[in-house]
Amino acid sequence: MERTKALEIVKKQLTEHRYIHTLGVEETSVALARKYGADSKKAEIAAIFHDYAKFRPKEEMREIVRSERLSQDLLFYGNEVLHAPVGAYLVKKEVGITDEDILRAIYYHTTGNGAMTLLEKVIFLADYIEPNRNFPGVESVREIAEHDLDQACLMAVKNTITFLMKQNQKIYPLTFEAYNGLLQEIK
């Protein structure tokens, strides 16, 4: 799909703030794809659509989890976790994207998983470090991302787990699997 067409479609789904974030993820993921040898066209499309479902009502997302038989443990989690797998489903159904690499990158963009592909890592990391993000620790992840994709992803997952634990929030099992998987790859 052409970039301008994709942006036109996703813009309707997002707030202005989230659209600007999406442009940042796109720019960052294309740069990471070029640096680390992922498919930059797939990175571009996955980035543009990664938060497609971010503003769907929670009940609509829960209904999709039930009717499409996604992992039923998703029903114990909120919008922050749901919008990624539900987004992959909706991008396929409503936008007509069928490329499994792109759909997987969208599906796993929030949690990661235990055996991440290059494209999944690129989208996961770009979402975390895109230029509009400014939370404690993001600058050091940006620096690691200059030279080591796996270490940067690991640092992002560690920061996320620590942040969630400090807030007494549930951690989705795939988030722990991402931590374990990245650690194993690095060793």
Distance between CA atoms of residues 1 and 46, nearest Å = 11
- Stretch 63-92 residues interacting with ligand DGI (CB under 6 A): 77, 80-81, 84
Which one among 103, 127, 154, 179 touches Fe ion, defined by CB under 5 A?
127
Does residue 52 belong to the site contacting ligand DGI (CB under 6 A)? no
Which one among 26, 44, 51, 120 touches Fe ion, defined by CB under 5 A?
51
- Stretch 127-166 residues interacting with ligand DGI (CB under 6 A): 127, 160, 164
For the bound state, the minimum distance from the C-beta of residue 110 to ligand DGI, rounded and expressed in Å, comes to 4
- Burial grade of 180 (CB within 10 A; 0-12, 13-18, 19 or more): exposed
- Burial grade of 35 (CB within 10 A; 0-12, 13-18, 19 or more): middle
How many Cβ atoms are within 10 Å of 154's Cβ, its own excluded?
21
**Of 43, 184, 33, which is closest to residue 114 (Cα–Cα)?**
184
Residue matched to tokens 């938060």: 51
The residue of the chain with the least Cβ separation from Fe ion equals 127
Does residue 120 belong to the site contacting Fe ion (CB under 5 A)? no
**152 within 8 A of 125, measured Cβ to Cβ:** yes
Does residue 121 belong to the site contacting ligand DGI (CB under 6 A)? no
- Stretch 7-36 residues interacting with ligand DGI (CB under 6 A): 21
Which one among 110, 125, 145, 182 touches ligand DGI, defined by CB under 6 A?
110
What is the binding site for ligand DGI (CB under 6 A)?
A: 21, 51, 54, 77, 80-81, 84, 109-111, 127, 160, 164, 169-172, 175
